[in-house]
Amino acid sequence: MTMDHDDDRLAPYLAAARGGGAVSDALMARVLADAARVQATQPSLTPARPDTARGASLLAVVQAALGGWRGLTGVTLAGVTGLALGFLAPDVVDGLTGGQIGVWSGTSGALPEIGLLWEEGGDV
Amino acid sequence: MIGDPPAYAALSDGALMVLFANGDPGASRVLAARLLPRALRHAARVLGDRAEAEDVAQEAMLRLWRAAAGWQQDGAAQPATWLYRVVANLCTDRLRRSGRTASLEDADLARDGQPGVEDRLIEKGRMAALDAALAHLPDRQRQAVVLRHIEGLSNPEIAAILDLGVEAVESLTARGKRALAQALANSKEALGYDDGP
């Protein structure tokens, strides 16, 4: 009851205050000038440049292209896992592919033997 | 005039902070258009002085720009809440340093709507009376009332800004509103001022 009465009494004053807050052009200009100064003076707030422009290492370029250290680590791990499987358990790989790898790499495979390219007709 | 291109309009304040940190000058214009009026209004009501409120609002925005480099977009802090907190602290510092309560000077903040002269006088009178009444409240109570009833923030948001529990904020706003209503009633009686229906 009292709170309702307080609400009624305060309403026009609070409404007037809510309508305030108009920012003068001068204040806005000062605030934006501050923002520009901070962006210009803090190195971390300047636009990022590609690392290659500063002669970054090949590793850094590859890392950036793959999405940072996480991407680079993922690609490396996948490569190492593939190599390990190929060397340590070739039968498993062969089984998973239905024995096709041996067929493709044999003389009757899907790809022609590269030696045929320069031995055709006995000429080199 | 400040434009707010659709590409920016769809972005949250946090995303704009990240853009600002990446050197985008447009982000600062949009952030300032969104947040500066709120900072100014908050400071003006707590300090009761337009010039001081502008200084506080500018200083708070400057701190926001400087904080952009380390801003976590997915963090819990919202730029608006963060800014209110800075404004609250700056106002408290100024009031303590000067050892005064808010002045009764007319803040003259109601120009943008361009109401008629009579309406403007009534509105200015109400703002002056509100400032005078707010000046009677303790700092925390004043901040809580302004944030709740003028800025329209929720109690949990105010709790984060003032570093208080939600229940403490509820108590502050309730007591503050009661005291404010009483102070306004007393000032009207003393001045013989009738605010109308």
DSSP per residue over B122-186, as a string? HHHHHHHHHHHHHHTS-HHHHHHHIIIIIS---HHHHHHHHT--HHHHHHHHHHHHHHHHHHHHH
Question: Can you tell me the ipTM of this complex?
Answer: 0.72
Domain parsing of chain A, residue ranges: 57-106
Residue B113 lies inside a defined structural domain of this protein: yes
A 10 A CB-CB count for B188 gives 14
Query: Cβ separation of B113 and A19 shorter than 8 Å?
Result: yes
Of A8, A116, A85, residue with least CA distance to B195: A8
Residue B1 placed within a domain: no
Residue A66 predicted with pLDDT over 70: no
Pair B61, B35: CB distance under 8 Å: yes
d(CA B61, CA B75): 19
Q: Contact B150/A12, CB-based, under 8 Å?
A: no
Chain A interface, mutation test: which of B56, B109, B111, B122, most A Cβ atoms within 10 Å?
A: B109
pLDDT digit string (tens) for chain B, length 197 residues: 455 555 888 899 999 999 999 888 899 999 999 999 999 999 998 988 889 999 999 999 999 999 998 887 656 678 999 999 999 999 989 988 876 544 333 333 334 444 555 566 666 677 788 888 888 889 899 999 999 998 999 999 999 999 999 999 999 999 998 988 888 887 665 444 444 44
List the CATH number of the domain containing B82.
1.20.140.160
- Portion 93-132 of B in contact with A at CB < 8 A: 107, 109-113, 123, 126-127, 129-130
- Is B184 in contact with A45 (Cβ distance < 8 A)? no
Domain assignment present for residue B196? The answer is no
With respect to residue B178, please indicate whether it lies within any of the assigned structural domains: yes
Q: Chain B closest CA to A63's CA: distance in Å? A: 20
Of residues A98 and A108, which shows the higher confidence score? Answer: A98
- Tell if the CB–CB gap between A13 and B58 is shorter than 8 Å: no
Give tens-digit pLDDT for A2-15.
556 777 778 888 88
In chain B, the number of structural domains is 1
Whole-number Å distance between alpha carbons of A80 and B197:
82
CA angle A74–A76–A82, rounded 5-degree value: 100
> What is the C-alpha to C-alpha distance for residues A38 and B31, in angstroms, rounded to an integer?
15
Backbone angles phi, psi at B116, to 5 degrees: -65, 170
User: Closest to A13 (Cβ–Cβ): which among B20, B40, B184?
Assistant: B184
B19 in Cβ contact with B11 (< 8 Å): yes
pLDDT digits (tens, 9 = 90+) for A72-107: 677 677 777 777 777 777 777 677 666 666 555 555
Across the A:B interface, residue pairs with CB atoms under 8 Å apart total: 126
Q: CA nearest A24: which of B45, B51, B13?
A: B51
Whether B178 sits inside 8 A of A6 (CB atoms) is: yes
Per-residue confidence (pLDDT) for residue A77, from 0 to 100: 77
Assess if residue B33 is contained within a domain: yes
**Is the Cβ of B185 closer than 8 Å to some Cβ of chain A?**
yes
| B108-121 pLDDT, tens digit each | 333 444 455 556 66
- A18: nearest CA partner in chain B: B150
Which domain, by its residues, includes B142? Answer: 6-191
Least confident segment among A35-39, A64-68, B128-132, B156-160: A64-68
Give the model's pLDDT for residue B28.
94
pLDDT tens, A17-34? Answer: 777 668 999 999 999 999
Given B22, B150, B195, which is nearest A17 (Cβ)? B150
Residue of B nearest to A46 (CA): B23
Is B197 among the domain residues?
no
CA distances from B19 to B11, B22, B23 (A): 10, 5, 7
Q: Nearest residue on chain B to A11, judged by CA atoms?
A: B149
- B89 CB near a chain A CB, below 8 Å? no
Buried b (16+ CB within 10 A) or exposed e, B47-80: bbbbebbbbbbbbbbbbbbebbeebeeeeeeebb
Which residues of chain A are at the B interface, by a Cβ-Cβ cutoff of 8 Å? Answer: 2-3, 5-7, 9-10, 12-14, 16-24, 27-28, 30-32, 34-36, 38-39, 42, 44-48
pLDDT above 60: residue A56: no
CA max distance for chain B: 57
